Amino acid sequence: MKELEDRIRRDGEVKSTEILKVGSFLNHQIDVSLFNDMGAEWARLFASKHINKILTIEASGIAIAAIAAQHFGNIPVVYAKKNQSRTLDNSQYETQVYSFTKQKYYKVIVSTRYLTADDHVLLIDDFLANGNAMHGLIDLCKQAGAHVEGIGVAIEKYFEPGGRKLRSEGWDLQSLACVKSMNPQTGDVIFEENPTA
Ligand code: 5GP
């Protein structure tokens, strides 16, 4: 998506060859107009799918998913919550996710009330790196018997293995900007236009 690539080139901060900061428009301060265009693009890319729910993960995915949902007929958005204590009544699905940014495992949960076998789900997140967050969301859907119709990511770090792994597993992954490489000296960001498995 050219608009997102241009914005990353203009306002993204290349902190290292691996870390891109996009806090000025994506995951701290939010550009609502850009999010709206991202939602419209996913609606176009997933037009053939019958999606009745969006599932994302706390916290950065929530705003992106909520605006995207308006392009899918205002379907509900559910987000996997972090740091919930264990309950004894089987009222939630839970899974462990390894955090790239914090370098530790954390638990995420979804209530059994909000994810069921009737759901045809689009998974959304801000970044895709190693795919741990996404695999956690896929695991929650499997536990619920929900169907994963597709995966929408704002920024894929193509030099990390997550995207390739998800594509080789057969998931319909649509990344709106796919970063092939970054140079912290010059701030240059190179994009991959045809990501494959
Ligand atoms: P993964 O689980 O695919 O390894 O990493 C995805 C998660 O890590 C995303 O939810 C995102 O919050 C975070 N993340 C990974 N790489 C970056 C990055 O370069 N910048 C930012 N801001 N977050 C990242």
Mutate to test the pocket of ligand 1, among 127, 157, 166, 178 (most ligand atoms within 8 A of CB): 127
pLDDT at 85: 67
Measured in Å, residue 78 CA sits from the centre of ligand 1 at 19
Q: Is 25 in the pocket of ligand 1 (CB under 6 A)?
A: no
127 lines ligand 1 (CB under 6 A): yes
Mean pLDDT of 93-120: 94
Contact at 8 Å (CB) between 113 and 28? no
Q: Percent of the chain beyond pLDDT 90? A: 93
Q: Which helix (H) or strand (E) holds 127?
A: strand 120-128
Q: Which residues pair with 98 in a beta bridge?
A: 105
Q: How far apart are CA 173 and CA 188, in angstroms?
A: 25
Does the beta carbon of 83 sit less than 6 angstroms from any atom of ligand 1?
Answer: no
Report the pLDDT value the prediction gives residue 83, as an integer from 0 to 100.
Answer: 72
Q: Is 100 in the pocket of ligand 1 (CB under 6 A)?
A: yes
Q: What are the φ/ψ torsions at residue 79 (nearest 5 degrees)?
A: -120, 140
The pLDDT of residue 86: 64
- State in Å: Cα 123 to ligand 1 middle: 15
| 23: nearest Cα among 190, 159, 155 | 155
pLDDT, tens digit, 9 for 90 and up, residues 117-172 = 999 999 999 999 999 999 999 999 999 999 999 999 999 999 999 999 999 999 99
Question: 101: pLDDT confidence band, cut at 50, 70 and 90?
Answer: confident
State the pTM of this model: 0.96
Burial class (CB in 10 A: 0-12, 13-18, 19+), 166: buried
CA distances from 105 to 41, 101, 102, 131 (A): 32, 11, 8, 14
Q: How far is the CA of 159 from the centre of ligand 1 (A)?
A: 13
Residue 44: CB atoms within 10 A of its CB come to: 10
Give every CB contact of residue 12 below 8 A, 6+ residues apart in sequence: 20, 21, 22, 189
Could you tell me if the CB of 158 is within 6 A of ligand 1?
A: no
Please tell me the residue having the least CA distance from ligand 1 atom 23.
Answer: 127
| Segment holding 195, helix H or strand E | none
Q: How confident is the model at residue 162, as a pLDDT?
A: 98
Please report which confidence band the pLDDT of residue 113 belongs to, taking 50, 70 and 90 as the band edges: very high
Alpha-carbon gap, residue 99 to 73, rounded angstroms:
32
Domains within the chain, CATH numbers bracketed? 2-191 (3.40.50.2020)
* Structure confidence at residue 100 (pLDDT): 72
Mean confidence (pLDDT) of the chain:
96
Per-residue tokens: 104: 């530790």
